[in-house]
Structure 1
Amino acid sequence: MMLDNLPRGTIVIEDLEVGMMRYLQKVVTDEDIEMFAQVSTDRNPVHLDEAYAQDTIFEGRIAHGMLTAGLISAVIGEQLPGHGTVYLGQTLKFMAPVRPGDLVRAEVAVEAIDHAKRRVTLATRCLVGDTVVLKGEAVVLAPSRKFD
């Protein structure tokens, strides 16, 4: 289940402002991890095998980093800027593991707007409680009133 702070849709570039922020929250479940392993074909046992994962530096199973990163994509594609956005690039730094049952908050904030090129730079991060588990920056081509 996802809990959003605003309805899904679009904010066109003409209405974007530096500092605007949107987020979603989602509990990462065992089923999510299994489905991501299936879709991505990444079946590393640190994600799927508790006995194996106990003997790693994580001391237990963790979610795929890209599963967590996918929540950022959901905020960008559904809320900020939303429908019609073209993802151009994303940097990611994984700071801490996400475990089955963790409530992840994915946040996206507008850092810079280049109206001439319709490009928007977004600060992106995911948190579990107060712990930043992932951070990065995205660049997108934002939808415009002129092109709808």
Structure 2
Amino acid sequence: MTDQIQRGTICIDQLELGMMRTLTKEITDRDIELFAEVSTDRNPVHLDEDFASTTLFKGRIAHGMLSAGLISAVIGEQLPGHGTIYLGQSLKFRAPVRPGDVVTAEVTVAAIDPVKRRVTLETRCRVGDTVVIEGEAQVLAPACKH
């Protein structure tokens, strides 16, 4: 173990209100199939086009938690990054994500409690200009030795 700051880590004393990081990913059929396998959520609205075409979505949609996982990736890899501990997350699913959609996850620092190392993050996923998920995360940010 070294005292070096890991790539992608922003320590509690380096965080600033309004800091934002993003991640963009195309959601593929393979992503949906793998998520169904790992999560065991095989709801046919995600996997069966014939079934999904009879729903209010009029076609297959990705699991909401698959897109929400991109928020987790931003938090764990970029803001605050390696060593961050998730304490909580609220999510509101605003619109469906379909196979082939390009999702951008955005995480913004909204509040910082440096004494407790607790950080509140605004979280959002978009497909183009459409907000598909929004919420708020509470995390314990890493304390790095300088």
- 1:133 to 2:132 alignment: yes
Which residue matches 1:96? 95
**1:46 has 2:45 as partner:** yes
User: What one-letter code is carried by the residue in structure 1 that aligns with 2:21?
Assistant: R
Matches within 5 A, 1:114-125: 114-125=113-124
What is aligned with 1:37? 36
Which residue in 2 is equivalent to 1:145?
A: 144
Report deviation, 1:9: 1.5
Matched, 1:82 2:74: no
Stretches of 4+ aligned residues off by more than 4 angstroms: none
User: In structure 2, what residue type is equivalent to 1:96?
Assistant: A
Match of 2:111, SS state, is strand
**In 1, Cα distance between equivalents of 2:123 and 2:75:** 9
CA distance in 1, matches of 2:123, 2:101: 19
Map of 2:62 onto structure 1: 63
Aligned-residue Cα RMSD (Å) equals: 1.0
Q: How does 1:13-24 map to 2 (within 5 A)?
A: 13-24=12-23
Unaligned runs of 5+ in 1: 1-7
In the alignment, the residues of structure 1 paired with residue 94 and residue 8 of structure 2 have an alpha-carbon distance, to the nearest angstrom, of: 30
Identity, % of aligned positions: 75
The TM-score, its normalising length taken from structure 1, stands at 0.93
SS at match of 2:70: helix
CA distance in 1, matches of 2:63, 2:93: 10
What amino acid maps onto 1:132 in structure 2? Answer: V
Unaligned residue ranges in structure 2 (runs of 5+): 1-6
1:69 positional shift: 0.3
Q: Alpha-carbon deviations, 1:63-120, whole Å to 9, x = none?
A: 0000010000000000000000000000000000000000000000000000110000
CA drift at 1:140:
0.2
- The count of corresponding residues between Structure 1 and Structure 2 is 140
